[in-house]
Amino acid sequence: MLLGCIADDLTGATDLALMLTRAGMRTVQVMQVPDASTDLAGFDAVVVALKTRTCPPAEAVSLSLAAADALLAGGARQLFFKYCSTFDSTDEGNIGPVAEALLTHLGARQAIVCPAFPTNKRTVYQGNLFVGDVPLSESPMKDHPLTPMRDSNLARVLQRQTKLNVGTVPFAIVDAGAAAIKAAMAAADARDERFLVLDAITDRHLVDMGTAAEGIKLITGGSGVALGLPANFVRQGLMKSAVAPTSMRAPKGRAAILAGSCSAATRGQVQAAVAADLPTLRIDPLAIASGEVDAARILTWAMKQSADRPLLVYSSADPDSVAAAQGKLGRDKAGRIVEETLAAAAIGLADAGFSRMIIAGGETSGAVVNGLGVTTLEIGPEIDPGVPWTRAIGGRELVLALKSGNFGAPDFFLKAWEKLS
């Protein structure tokens, strides 16, 4: 292993694993801190998917350090701390505390900070994060229920989360290329700036940043920053670039989509599937709470549908319906019972011969993957930016596409299957 990665959520981990695979690294994703029984031999990069984005900071730190130790023991020469491209965090953390703990643990001086992912319209200019055309603080992220982002200036946001000094490397320097970035990092080091927020508005900036990061022990950011890292290892003669897969062999079996995400992108994808006449079943937390809907009923419905087409079970709903369910059941319970029901349905479907599944939603994916007992994923072809097909290694024969709620084009549920053979 050359690159060890620690991701603060599951679909973010998959997004990063895909980026590394596309850039030529043999990459595997593991669902928890690897132990001696996890076979990581033969992989250039290992991505550990944690669930530490919104847990208490102390827990996020201890899990991240445990992951770091496991990755270093496996031979990692460089660590990558992956968080969301919208820098999802609060003044308490968890990006600052985790990054600071990792930097200290590694005995390193400096880490790069860059959530930019231009392909998905996340860019950083003069230290400010933009989502599409608007600053982060004017994007829908301002109303996120757990991590409302009300300040677009990342240096300011991060400085509230860490006692180490935060500096910036502005656009003009990043745009001048890797040598200029390296020089700026050295100058910042002399000023004792331990975290450096780097601007990036195109992939070229990310590649140059990756080049400048050769030999740096800790990189933090969105998946975009990983773009330039594999080439460093190739240049050093440590690995040969692998060709990214364009299709994935899938076990024979039926196909299902389970959508628990209520994000705008997923709701659009559900609409497209309904319009395309896929067999669809809508479930909702109130019906689950009243006992009207459960996994067994979902399974009975699924077995009556034609095996020729993927079927879709979804709880995705608009903000008013979500608020109504949360008002009646409480926010935690409304979410939890949907996750549990979809996870139980996934187990039933897998037992009944469904071997190809798309899961929409980060938390939903976590619940389903846990339920299915999947611990390790091989990364396959990209379906849309940030979302690959993956194959479970060990355990059940399954291919899975774990989609972060807001990712994917409207026809994602319809076209994803074309990449399977």
Given a contact cutoff of 8 angstroms between Cβ atoms, the answer to whether 170 and 101 are in contact is no
Each residue 99-138 as x (binds ligand ADP by CB under 6 A) or -, in order, gives ----------------------------------------
122-125 and 3-7 beta bridge pairing = unpaired
Each residue 276-305 as x (binds ligand ADP by CB under 6 A) or -, in order, gives --------xx--------------------
Positive or negative, the Cα torsion across 308, 313, 319, 321?
positive
**408 interacts with ligand ADP by CB under 6 A:** no
Scanning 128-136, 164-172, 331-339, 379-387 for contacts with ligand ADP by CB under 6 A, the matching segment is 331-339
d(CA 146, CA 88): 9
- Taking the complex as a whole, the smallest distance from the CB of residue 362 to ligand ADP amounts, in Å, to 4
Scanning 36-44, 240-248, 293-301, 357-365 for contacts with ligand ADP by CB under 6 A, the matching segment is 357-365
Backbone angles phi, psi at 44, to 5 degrees: -80, -30
- Residue from 19, 227, 338, 374 binding ligand ADP (CB under 6 A): 338
CA proximity to 162, closest of 87, 225, 99, 236 = 99
Cβ closer to ligand ADP: 355 or 364?
364
- Residue from 57, 221, 253, 335 binding ligand ADP (CB under 6 A): 335
What is the signed CA dihedral for 149, 110, 193, 150, rounded to 10 degrees? 0
Read off the tokens for 365.
């994916």
**364 interacts with ligand ADP by CB under 6 A:** yes
Cβ closer to ligand ADP: 53 or 419?
53
**386 interacts with ligand ADP by CB under 6 A:** no
- Residue from 93, 127, 310, 361 binding ligand ADP (CB under 6 A): 361
Cβ closer to ligand ADP: 132 or 394?
132
- Taking the complex as a whole, the smallest distance from the CB of residue 44 to ligand ADP amounts, in Å, to 28
d(CA 311, CA 183): 54
CA proximity to 6, closest of 74, 52, 54, 59 = 52
Read off the tokens for 203.
């992939």
**57 interacts with ligand ADP by CB under 6 A:** no
* Nearest residue to ligand ADP on Cβ basis: 405
- Residue from 325, 343, 344, 346 binding ligand ADP (CB under 6 A): 325
Cβ closer to ligand ADP: 38 or 315?
315
Long-range CB contacts for residues 238-242, cutoff 8 Å, separation at least 24: 238/2, 238/77, 239/2, 239/24, 239/25, 239/44, 241/24, 242/21, 242/24, 242/25, 242/26, 242/44
- Residue from 29, 90, 261, 375 binding ligand ADP (CB under 6 A): 261
**270 interacts with ligand ADP by CB under 6 A:** no
**339 interacts with ligand ADP by CB under 6 A:** yes
- Residue from 260, 310, 371, 388 binding ligand ADP (CB under 6 A): 260
Scanning 18-26, 92-100, 260-268, 392-400 for contacts with ligand ADP by CB under 6 A, the matching segment is 260-268
**317 interacts with ligand ADP by CB under 6 A:** yes
**315 interacts with ligand ADP by CB under 6 A:** yes
Given a contact cutoff of 8 angstroms between Cβ atoms, the answer to whether 239 and 23 are in contact is no
Backbone angles phi, psi at 188, to 5 degrees: -65, -35
What is the full DSSP assignment across 30-89? ESS---TTS--TT-SEEEEE---SSS-HHHHHHHHHHHHHHHHHTT-SEEEEE--TT---
45-49 and 166-169 beta bridge pairing = unpaired
Cβ closer to ligand ADP: 233 or 389?
389
- Residue from 123, 139, 223, 263 binding ligand ADP (CB under 6 A): 263
**362 interacts with ligand ADP by CB under 6 A:** yes
Read off the tokens for 79.
């660590």
For 262, residues 6+ apart whose C-beta sits below 8 A from its C-beta are 315, 316, 317, 318, 319, 322, 361, 405
d(CA 323, CA 285): 11
Binding region for ligand ADP (CB under 6 A): 260-263, 266, 284-285, 315, 317, 321-322, 325-326, 334-335, 338-339, 361-364, 404-405
